[in-house]
Amino acid sequence: MSTSSTVPPLATAYELLRPRILQRLLVLRGTLDPALGRMDELTAKAQVGAVLDHLGNFIVSGDMGQHRAFLHTFMAMRAAEAQSPAAVLAMLVAIGDTAAQVAQDEGAGTAEGAELTLLLTKVTATTARAVNDLIAEELERRLGTWGDLRAKTQQETGRS
């Protein structure tokens, strides 16, 4: 991400803290998510780094559609690794909470530190709501499919 004058100051502050956030997340990865703990460091760094990159982009753009698309893709990728939606949600919240904690620790006593901590807390809450919405939409889709299959089965049974 560029640190030009068009980038909000809190986004720049986040990018400056990002290496420390990543470092703390890698140290804690086994407690954040057992699947991350089983990964080698390079793979875990790539997955956590992708989330942190996206959080930075979301802080700059505020584009909820792009955020939901990333979360949908991330959930699908983790599902392919046999991770439940609840586990993905917990991991994303833990990443956001850890980022906010690092911002709070590093920015203690400064207005910018407090503002960045608040922003990261809001982004984490927004992320949790979006993931919950995605889970609910998927469950609704599955329930509709189940209903369609049940109706089709009843029609076929009634014809025999």
pLDDT of residue 93: 95
pLDDT tens-place string over residues 78-136: 888 888 999 999 999 999 999 999 999 998 889 999 999 999 999 999 999 999 999 99
Distance separating alpha carbons of residues 58 and 155, to the nearest angstrom: 48
pLDDT of residue 2: 44
Confidence of residue 1 (pLDDT cuts 50, 70, 90): very low
Mean pLDDT across the stretch 15-22? Answer: 96
pTM of the predicted structure, to 2 decimals? 0.84
Give the pair of three-digit tokens for residue 159.
């014809």
**15, 73 in Cβ contact below 8 A?**
no
Q: How much of the chain, in percent, has pLDDT values that exceed 90?
A: 67
Q: Read out DSSP for the chain?
A: ---STTS-HHHHHHHHHHHHHHHHHHHHHHHH-HHHHHS-HHHHHHHHHHHHHHHHHHHHH--HHHHHHHHHHHHHHHHHTT--HHHHHHHHHHHHHHHHHHHHHHTTT-HHHHHHHHHHHHHHHHHHHHHHHHHHHHHHHHHHHHHHHHHHHHHHHHH-
Question: Which of 44, 136, 41 lies closest to 81, judged by CA?
Answer: 44
**33, 94 in Cβ contact below 8 A?**
yes
The answer, yes or no, to whether residue 62 has pLDDT greater than 60, is yes
The answer, yes or no, to whether residue 3 has pLDDT greater than 50, is no
- Angle 65-29-11 from CA coordinates, rounded to 5°: 40
How close are the terminal C-alpha atoms of the chain, in Å? 64
